[in-house]
Structures are given as C-alpha cells and as structure tokens.
A and B are shown apart, each in its own frame.
Chain A
Amino acid sequence: MGDEVFKLKGNQTGLQLVFAPGIAFETLRNEIQKRLESGSQFFKRGTVIQLVPDQLSKENEESLRKLFHQYGVLFRVEPIEDVSKARRPIPKQKAPETNIPAAQAAAKESPAEPKPAEEHRMMVINRTVRSGQEIQTQGSVLICGNVNPGAEIIAGGSIDIRGTCRGIVHAGAYGDRNSFIIADCLMPVQIRIADLIAQAPDSIEKPAYAEKASVKNNQIIIEPIER
C-alpha cells in the first residue's frame, strides 16, 4: 500500500475504505482526519464511504462515522455488494418469511406478484398528505410536502419525504425488507417496513437531521443522514 496508511477504492456504490490489517486505529484516524482537512476531492459532501464489517471494533467504527460526519461524508459499515448482481431483478415472491401484518393484507388487493413496470415506477406526490388521506403504490414514492398525523403512506418500495413525517409510513409493503424510509423530519407514530413494525416513543423531539429508517438484523433502525 506504499506510504499511504489507507486507500479509498472506488466501486459502483461509492468508495470503499481499505487499510492494512493490524494498523493502529489512532494512526488510521489521524491520517483520515488529515486527508479530510486537506479538502481532498474525494470528500465532497454526501460522498458515501463504505467499510467491510468486522475490521474495526464498534467504538472505532462509531468514532470514524462521527469524524466523517463532521465533513458531511457518510460512513457506512456494510458488506460491499456486487452491484451487477444486485441490479438484477430480484424475484419479489420470497418464501413467506413471517406473519403478514394486517395492514399489508388490506393494502394488497391482488396477492399476485406486482408487474416489474409498476414495481419500479416512482410515484411523486407534490403536496402535503393530510389526515385521512392514503397514498398507495406498488413502487416507491416521493412526497414533496408533509405527511400529517392520521395520513398513511403504503409503498411496495421505499418512501422519501421532503418534509415532516408524522403519519404512518409502510415501506416494502409486499415484503421487501430492503426498502427504506427517508424524511427531512422523521417523527411518525409508526414505521412499518415489510413485516416489521416500530412504534414511536411517547414523547418525540423534532429531529434536527434528515433520517433514514431501514431494516438491520431483523429490526427497524433509524440513523441520521446527509441530504
């Protein structure tokens, strides 16, 4: 690896952080900080840097994530997927994984597999979705407006809300656990992704960052993101 302590390897989804095994974490962190301060072109705001899991301890991963975050760079610890493989249409109808939630059963008029065209279409809602209103789509949905309390968004794919989300959001309603939910201000009463349901705490502070809800280890997790 020459005189460099670490390298950033480009791949289809972003940059991958690579370093020699056994290197002192302090050295690695300092070098990364130096590079960040130098204003390298690699570190434009919103750049995604990936790290293959199990190379660092959880605290060290978190420490790097915070460091990158200061410079607006997103740091993710996740297995690097072969994108060429991932892009291939995944058969939607997996073996019935777990119990189907009631909402999903209701949302799904025809249990048949959604047609690929429908599935990949992005629905754009250019207004605030108010109490009692419901948006349903087989594909993903982009909402330029708020999702108010009492409103429901049900999408076969992911949900992106450019506004405040206070209603009920259900992504991956046909079982796709890779779906996610993003909102400028994510404070819904319930988040549903595929067959999982997460309930909001009794009192919820207005988050200052945009956040993303996704499924990790059979749980819905929420993390701040840069937009």
Chain B
Amino acid sequence: MGEVIVITSGKGGVGKSTTTASLGVGLAMRGKKVALIDTDTGLRNLDILLGLERRIVYTLVDVAQKRVNYGQALVRHKKYSNLFLLPTSQVADKTAIEPEQMKQLVDTMRNEFDFILIDCPAGIEQGFQTAVIGADWAVVVTIPEVSAVRDADKIIGRLQAVNKDIKLIVNRIDPQMVKAGTMLDMTSIDDILSLPCIGQIPDDREVINASNQGIPIIEWSNTAAGRAYNDVVGRICGEDIPFKPFETEGFFARLKHVFGH
C-alpha cells in the first residue's frame, strides 16, 4: 500500500508545485514508483515544471467523472520511467471534482504506487478539501515571510481538525538575510507553527532557471536547493539526515553558480 502525501501551503507562490516536482523526481530516483496528482484545476502548472505539457491527453477531471480510467490519463516522465503525472484540466474549475471522487481515486491508485504526491491549490476552498481528503499526511510549505507563515498556520489548523499528520518545509531561506536579522529565522517560524521540519530550502536563483526548462531543481545536484531537496527525500524515506548550516555564499561560490551550467 502506497503512501499518499498532500503538499499544501495556504498562500500561493511559496513553491508547492516546485516542491512536488522535486520530491517526485527524488523519490523516483530512489527507485520508488511515484504518481504526482495536480489538483490545481484551472491553473495547472505541475506539467510545465516537469516538462510534460505536450503529452497530456486526458485529465484528472476526466478520471473523476469516470470518462476514462486513471491509467489512461497518467503521463510517464521522459527520463524516469517509474514517475507519472496525473495532470488536471486547464479549462474546468475546482468544482469539477468532488472531494469524495478524489478519495476514491487515491484509494484505488495507492495499490499501484509507492508514493502518491498531491499538489494542492492555494486557498482554503473546495480545491483544498479535494486535495487533502485522501492524503495520509501533509507537507506544509512556507517561506520566511510573516504573511506566508500566517497562512500556513491557518492551513495547519484545518489539517489538524481532520487529524492529518503534518511536516514542514521552509522554502526560499536567504541565509544572508537571516544572518542580518531581516528575515524570519527557523526559531521564530517554529515558535508559531511548532511542527517537525523536514526541509530547509535555501533561496536559489537556479530554481527559476531549471523550472523554465521543465527540470525539477533536484536533478541539478550541484545546486544548493537541489541538495536540500535531496535531503528532504531522504527524510521522507525515513533516513536520519541532519540539517546542514547554510553557507553564506561568497563571491567565488556565486561565480561557480554562474558558470555551473
């Protein structure tokens, strides 16, 4: 029986889809059979981040409404043959899928996959309910900003109300700003959210570069964010990986990045 994890945040733009794509690839690189489900109906983009946009034929809406079975809608990743995407529709909206349909689908799919990662839309409306209902536990992604932490807190309250286990990923940490005291540090975030943390992802401009090419950043193992995501995957698989202190990048390290690719 596979594990179903929903990746959520409340606030938009904090890196839910980026995280879903990287964790999916990371788990697939470790030989797991993985399905990624995009539930951001109407605003889908997980397919773009994975470089699979052109291969989509059927969508989650077709599956939920039983026009096709899920196998027909799954898109296999170009590079990792054990990684699949179940994309959603770009034309329908979030009311097209009922939470109950989603739960049934996930419960069928978990017989075939080791991991099912559900990319949740921003917000707390029906899309959120649909994404969350079938999951065993949740990853809450946030960034070190007061508004994002506030929204994460709200989402955590909702998740705890339905008894989901929750783990935290803090994305886009700028070590230099934390050092200068101009960005929330892990202690202040933990003070409010008080959740076990499985990821601290440094802010890395390479993420945008990789995303634009349809490559999840975890594939670029020489980037700071790629390494951090790889650690998260290890932790999800049950490995005990300590958090490494961030190196505040010097001039040479940055030069290396510029010439890295």
Contacts of A130 on B, CB cut-off 8 Å? 153-154, 156-157, 160
In the complex, the chain B residue whose C-beta lies closest to that of A150 is B150
Residue among B153, B156, B160, B194 with the highest chain A CB neighbour number at 10 A:
B153
- Given A131-B150, A131-B151: A164 in contact with B191 (beta carbons within 8 A): yes
A149 within 8 A of B: yes
Tell me, in angstroms, the Cα distance from A17 to B194 when the chains sit together. 45
Contacts of A150 on B, CB cut-off 8 Å? 150, 153-154
Contacts of A146 on B, CB cut-off 8 Å? 192, 194
A133 within 8 A of B: yes
A2 within 8 A of B: no
Checking A127, A128, A131, A164 against B154 with a beta-carbon cut-off of 8 angstroms, the contacting residue is A131
Would you call B150 and A128 a contact (CB within 8 A)?
no
Total number of residue pairs linking A and B with CB closer than 8 Å: 28
Tell me, in angstroms, the Cα distance from A127 to B192 when the chains sit together. 13
Contacts of B191 on A, CB cut-off 8 Å? 164
Would you call A132 and B157 a contact (CB within 8 A)?
yes
CB distance from A19 to the nearest CB of B (A): 46
CB distance from B143 to the nearest CB of A (A): 16
Contacts of A131 on B, CB cut-off 8 Å? 150-151, 153-154, 157
A148 within 8 A of B: yes
In the complex, the chain A residue whose C-beta lies closest to that of B159 is A130
Interface residues in B142-173 (C-beta closer than 8 Å to A): 150-151, 153-154, 156-157, 160
CB distance from B166 to the nearest CB of A (A): 11
In the complex, the chain A residue whose C-beta lies closest to that of B10 is A131
Tell me, in angstroms, the Cα distance from A128 to B161 when the chains sit together. 12
A212 within 8 A of B: no
The contact string, 1 if C-beta is below 8 Å from chain B, for chain A 185-215, is 0000000000000000000000000000000
Contacts of B160 on A, CB cut-off 8 Å? 127, 130
In the complex, the chain A residue whose C-beta lies closest to that of B156 is A130
Interface size on B, residues (CB 8 A): 10
Tell me, in angstroms, the Cα distance from A149 to B150 when the chains sit together. 7
Contacts of A133 on B, CB cut-off 8 Å? 157
Tell me, in angstroms, the Cα distance from A195 to B241 when the chains sit together. 53
Contacts of B194 on A, CB cut-off 8 Å? 128, 146
A170 within 8 A of B: no
Would you call B192 and A149 a contact (CB within 8 A)?
yes
Tell me, in angstroms, the Cα distance from A164 to B191 when the chains sit together. 9
A166 within 8 A of B: yes
Residue among B156, B157, B160 with the highest chain A CB neighbour number at 10 A:
B157
Interface residues in B191-234 (C-beta closer than 8 Å to A): 191-192, 194
Would you call A166 and B157 a contact (CB within 8 A)?
no
The contact string, 1 if C-beta is below 8 Å from chain B, for chain A 170-196, is 000000000000000000000000000
Contacts of B151 on A, CB cut-off 8 Å? 131
In the complex, the chain A residue whose C-beta lies closest to that of B146 is A149
Interface residues in B53-110 (C-beta closer than 8 Å to A): none
In the complex, the chain A residue whose C-beta lies closest to that of B191 is A164
The contact string, 1 if C-beta is below 8 Å from chain B, for chain A 115-147, is 000000000000110111100000000000010
Would you call B154 and A132 a contact (CB within 8 A)?
yes
Interface residues in A43-73 (C-beta closer than 8 Å to B): none
Contacts of B154 on A, CB cut-off 8 Å? 130-132, 150
CB distance from B145 to the nearest CB of A (A): 13
CB distance from A128 to the nearest CB of B (A): 7
In the complex, the chain B residue whose C-beta lies closest to that of A145 is B194
CB distance from B248 to the nearest CB of A (A): 26
In the complex, the chain A residue whose C-beta lies closest to that of B188 is A206
CB distance from B35 to the nearest CB of A (A): 31
Given A130-B160, A149-B153, A150-B154, 19 new contacts (CB under 8 A): A130-B153, A130-B154, A130-B156, A131-B150, A131-B151, A131-B153, A131-B154, A131-B157, A132-B153, A132-B157, A133-B157, A146-B192, A146-B194, A148-B153, A148-B192, A149-B150, A149-B192, A150-B150, A166-B192
Chain B residues engaging chain A, CB cutoff 8 angstroms: 150-151, 153-154, 156-157, 160, 191-192, 194
| 28 A-B residue pairs with CB within 8 Å | A127-B160, A128-B194, A130-B153, A130-B154, A130-B156, A130-B157, A130-B160, A131-B150, A131-B151, A131-B153, A131-B154, A131-B157, A132-B153, A132-B154, A132-B157, A133-B157, A146-B192, A146-B194, A148-B153, A148-B192, A149-B150, A149-B153, A149-B192, A150-B150, A150-B153, A150-B154, A164-B191, A166-B192
Sorted nearest first, the 6 A-B pairs with minimum C-beta distance are A130-B157, A131-B153, A131-B154, A132-B154, A130-B153, A133-B157
